[in-house]
Structure 1
């Protein structure tokens, strides 16, 4: 919208940017994350993208709430057709009219007849290799740059959104020296990428508990990134493809290519349930019912065990919310309404710095204090002024600090009297992004990092088995009231 000079607001959990038209009135258009959908505002049109996320175990409730509660005359749902039957049933329950519009992919998608193998000289500009761990992504980036002499962008889930966008911009620019992309399944949503060929390193990933084969829907979503964005013709002599917008898909291994071909030939399994999370009013009533002395995380566990839902709905997974609530369990002075908000905060359960900072933030609220980010302990922002990070991987450290700053900004919009100097925190966040971008530009030598004798073994491990951590080798890292009638147009 902004590139077309159309005023449009941006609303996310960590940032609110308001635009105004030529008369000084607030922009009528608004873009944002689905969790921030304003269900109390009258709208003419609402657009919900990625509607298949409605059954997501953690975030699906936001799509369900937006779908059923937004006050719009017309709603457009965009996403995988595998949600069509569920959408029909939900629309029927709401008494709304449904119109289904199926679109055909504009650019063809072809699976190549042969796998790539480990010959990196077969890589072509516009290729994207998909791995499923950050360590293997960074390892593959450095190997590719060392063997081909060309630059490689990276995208993975723990990178800041701003950094992912910057990496995508570098990869998309035909005049930049970035020819390849190594990414996780994070490329499946939210980014426009000039990918010509998707190359799967594996079709297995670790889901936090065990190794599983990629679901059909995920294979199709990742593979579908090929050829979906206008790709500029490359001047590289090795790029022998036509300049058409055809998308190609392959893998490093023959057996994986066969599985990918099977997935692309099958329809995605239907989405059968919409995720549900109760309103604040219901949570308050339940908390008062079981008694004010019960810790908030125990109240959530009892709520999860007690609630009964109709067949079309499933209760969200409260694991992360319960884990977050345990962090402030022994802090006195927090009100129920404050705990309800804090439990929803974006706290990484695997990042000790973020958890420590969150505990400090909760103390600020409980003690009725007002502080800037630099006045609060355990945030790690002091590292931003250091030229060398001691005893740590710089990229991991800066990504962790970025999560702390994003958390602070998230809280500043919900507890503005407690968390001051939002502008200063935003500036530190931007500095953190700059440092991460600078680190990603560096490509240490593989042999220098792991030793010449191990370099060959390291390449084999990085390119052929990203399903488990690299335990025996040190992977390379950068140097140190609802409208009465609504019409749904979907798919």
Structure 2
């Protein structure tokens, strides 16, 4: 490196001899463009423009940046012949700067003072850049500035850049009994450099002085007029504030109207706007106000600070002239610009987030909601969605949705895994099963035939729709000398030597294979809430032979299931054994005969009808809210003749064999959990079939208590029942729930059930079951720290969600399980031996349901629910209490407000006194306080 620098130094020294001792950078300026072009050609460089300026610049760059080789070539070019290259000019003598300026001043007519100023002006300028022309131009400028200074002194003012003269004038203010003078800065017209240069000082002073006088007079007239036009009572300003504003107004302002003190101005603005703060500038007022903006695709009103840029002169004019202040246009314009800019930025942000979350298939509302969660805290009280905020929001959005996207991917995998529903029951799939369907009307022997085949089998399963029927099936098997076990939700009578099991359908064990399985009341496939249990049983029951019994409208549905399963199906059709006659005319209450069952469709109606008919008959009652034991006892009393008539809901429609001669409908409509509707033909036939049971009565009759009801019964009695439609509801069992939980890494049962209902698509004729009740129970259990299996068992519990009493008990039981504490059963306290009111009866019924819940849990969590025997004893006491209550001739109805007795069979739940007090006069009208 040292050798290279030494060589370059020698070349730099040698090149000076060709430029009269100047270095290359200086000397090359005097070389002609023609010679420089020749030099570049010699160096092999041809793409340089031929302008002198560009050639010189390029030569300097090559000399300074090139290596020694290039420098040697340039030196050799100039060394060929010292006379060879042409010079634009010879080297000027190297004079001192001051000497050069003094020499040039001899050509100019400059005074000694001007000479000093010129020397000062060129003090920092390089000698060679100084010329006579530059000195002459500067001298002209100096003389013009001296003239302006003389004029400014004579006129007591200052010339501005546009050659207007600014001067101070004393102006007189007289208002509200006050008199004072104030200095204001005024300006003349612009005179221009040429005008000032071409006129003598005296002429200029006279002309501009005259202009000043006119301007002062005009300003004084303007002030006088302004004060004269001020109202005696100003809209915004007090007399003191007006005088203060005029006194305090600065001498020089950019507004045509006097400035107002900032605090006073803020007070005035607050009368028209909700001002947060404001800033006063020379020509505008910046006001910040609270504003809100309804964010797109949401119900979020985002509060932000809106900045209003208000033109100050116009605002002052409106204030001084007491005009109404209206900023709606300013607000609308500011809002439009801020919100339009925000919406454009938001649209870009949402599109970017949507790209990351494509797999989630979010609606616009869902997508925006997630974006707002990540955005709004960063946005603060503004709509300024900067690129930096957008980048941070996207990063947060991606982070927050990452787990959800992974979960969605797992859901897709899961859906593919269990799409073919039949494969979820491997034991059934490994068996060569035969399906047999017994169809026919009620009282046709289809269930009797199926049970006989079950009794002949070495091993078997009877699946009943109700606990009561499961108990009857169990007792029937035992009566035939068959070792059997009973398994229901709340009761398990296990026989270690049992070859047969009688159970409710939901309790089917898919891991125990048998020879024959009877699935009773298979038309329940169509049930909105429980249909999944029948579908699961038909698909997955591990039996060599599956016998299904049901009404004829299930035929097509079972054929579709058999085709999906690829299994053999035999259909056996049965005919009714006894005739069933539809009565032509309604039967009045006084003409009702013994062995009649009167059908209602609510507990309230059953108890009301019992009140009516208890005057003439001994009555048994059956409705869904009664425990199986009470229903069975009530049925026994009717069967053995202890009571003359039966009043029941459609709870008797399945499997209850009773000596009913006549079925009479009190109504032909029911509430099905969703709507109040007329009975379906299938429901009418199922209920009617309870009349004239084979072996009990020779013939059955069907009618109604009134003509309107009978018309609906007649219209539908002979109609073919509606075919049960597909797809069928299916539901995952515990093992499936565990599979979903593990794949989704999800411990929330409600989320798993929602996934099953909303996302599952099946290859066969299925859809995920309606699980409203189970979902509601799942939401309760998800509030506790439990494993997924425990949550599933709890959500399957027999839970009456409409009863606050039972829900409260349920939650207390879950809490005990969470804390791993034993649950002691405390028997209820009863007053008297029977209920005096329907509410007391309902409370006792709920107590029995609570015991059923306790016993159900005791079979699954034996270590914690330790008082099962005490609970059974309490159930016996409560059932007896309910039985005694039902055998009373009537219940006392009481006002729900004051508990006073109501008239027998009152249509209302409050007394006349409470109605007058609370719903008329000074109390409530139509449910609203006056």
- TM normalised by structure 1 equals 0.82
Give how far 1:40 is off.
1.5
Cα distance in 2 between the residues matched to 1:100 and 1:6? 27
Deviation string 1:415-446 (CA, Å, 9 cap, x unpaired) is 11111132222111122111111111111378
Partner SS, residue 66 of structure 1? helix
The alpha-carbon deviation at position 344 of structure 1 amounts to 1.1
Q: Distance in 2 between matches of 1:311 and 1:71?
A: 19
Is it true that 1:17 corresponds to 2:493 in the alignment?
A: yes
Residues 1:52 and 2:539 aligned together: no
Equivalent residue number for residue 355 of structure 1:
807
Q: Does 1:154 align with 2:621?
A: yes
Residue 412 (structure 1) shift? 0.9
Q: Provide the residue aligned with 2:602 in structure 1.
A: 133
Shifted more, 129-138 versus 84-93: the winner is 84-93
In the other structure, the counterpart of 2:857 is 411
Aligned partner of 1:171 among 622, 631, 638: 638
Report the CA distance between 1:101 and its aligned residue.
Answer: 0.7
Work out whether residues 688 and 702 of structure 2, in 8 Å CA contact, stay in contact via their aligned partners in 1.
yes
**Superposition pairs for residues 17-416 of structure 1, below 5 Å?**
17-19=493-495, 26-116=497-587, 119-146=588-615, 148=616, 150-174=617-641, 176=642, 178-228=643-693, 230-231=695-696, 244-273=697-726, 274-292=728-746, 295-310=748-763, 312-331=765-784, 333-374=785-826, 381-384=827-830, 393-416=839-862
Contact 2:902 2:910 in 1 (8 A): no
Which stretch shifts more, 247-256 or 391-400? Answer: 391-400
CA distance in 1 between partners of 2:730 and 2:879 (Å): 34
2:553/2:723 contact within 8 Å kept:
yes
Asked whether the equivalents of residues 272 and 312 of structure 1 are also in contact (C-alpha less than 8 Å), the reply is no
State the TM-score, normalized to the length of structure 2: 0.44
Q: Within 2, Cα distance between the matches of 1:67 and 1:99?
A: 14
Distance 2:556 2:876 in 1: 43
User: 1:309-337: CA deviations, max 9, x gaps?
Assistant: 34622321111011112223322x21111
Q: Pick closer, same or farther for the CA change 1:179–1:26 going to 2, 3 Å.
A: same
How far does residue 255 in structure 1 lie from its aligned partner after superposition? 3.0
Q: What is the rounded CA distance, in whole Å, between the counterparts of 2:481 and 2:832 in structure 1?
A: 40
Q: CA deviation at 1:227?
A: 0.9
Q: Larger radius of gyration, structure 1 or 2?
A: 2
What is the Cα deviation at residue 472 of structure 1?
6.2
Q: Partners in 1 of 2:509 and 2:893 — Cα distance?
A: 53
Cα distance in 2 between the residues matched to 1:170 and 1:419? 34
Deviates more, 1:56-65 or 1:121-130: 56-65
Q: Is the 8 A contact 1:347 1:407 kept in 2?
A: yes
1 or 2, which has the higher helix percentage? 2
Cα 1:261/1:5, change in 2 over 3 Å: same
Q: Contact 1:192–1:229 at 8 Å: present in 2 too?
A: no
Aligned residue number for residue 438 of structure 1? 884
In 2, the alpha carbon distance for the partners of 1:227 and 1:284 equals 49
Would the aligned equivalents of 2:620 and 2:646 in 1 still touch at CA under 8 Å?
yes
| Alpha-carbon offset, residue 123 of structure 1 | 0.7
Give how far 1:132 is off.
1.0
User: For residue 237 of structure 2, what is the aligned residue in structure 1?
Assistant: none
Contact 1:50 1:80 in 2 (8 A): yes
1:427 match: 873
Structure 1 residues 28 and 473: CA distance shift in structure 2, 3 A: farther
Residues 203/473 of structure 1: CA separation in 2 closer, same or farther (3 Å cut): farther
* 1:259 Cα offset (Å): 2.1
In structure 1, distance between residues paired with 2:483 and 2:736: 37
Secondary structure (helix, strand or coil) at the match of 1:31 reads: strand
Secondary structure in 2 matching 1:382:
coil
Return closer, same or farther for 1:390/1:205 CA change in 2, 3 Å cut-off: closer
Whole-angstrom distance in 2 between the partners of 1:94 and 1:412? 37
Give the 3 Å change call, closer, same or farther, for CA 454–431 of structure 1 in structure 2.
closer
**1:44 to 1:357, Cα distance in 2 relative to 1, 3 A:** same
How big is each residue's C-alpha offset from its partner over 1:54-91, in whole Å with a ceiling of 9 and x where there is no partner? Answer: 22222112111211112212111111111111111211
CA distance 1:388–1:136, change in 2 (3 Å) = closer
Aligned pair count reads 432
Counterpart-to-counterpart distance in 2, 1:60 and 1:37: 14
Contact 1:8–1:30 (8 Å) recurs in 2: yes
Secondary structure of residue in 2 paired with 1:182: strand
Contact 2:894/2:909 (<8 A) preserved: no
Q: Distance in 2 between matches of 1:212 and 1:472?
A: 28
Q: Quote the Cα distance in structure 1 between the aligned partners of 2:492 and 2:911.
A: 43
- Counterpart CA distance in 1 for 2:527 and 2:817 is 31
How far the C-alpha of 1:300 sits from its partner, in A, is: 2.3
Q: Are the counterparts in 2 of residues 154 and 167 from structure 1 also a CA contact under 8 Å?
A: yes
Alpha-carbon separation, structure 1, partners of 2:551 and 2:668: 20
Q: SS of the residue aligned with 2:501?
A: strand
RMSD: 2.7
Structure 2 stretches of 5 or more lacking a match? 1-475, 913-930
Q: CA deviation at 1:99?
A: 1.0
- Find the aligned partners of 1:389 and 1:183 in 2 and give their Cα distance: 19
Q: 1:448 to 1:338 in 2, by over 3 A?
A: closer
Could you say what secondary structure the match of 2:573 adopts?
A: coil
CA contact (8 A) 1:327 1:355 kept: no
Residue 124 of structure 1 aligns to a residue whose secondary structure is coil
State the alpha-carbon separation in 2 of the partners of residues 276 and 472 from structure 1. 45
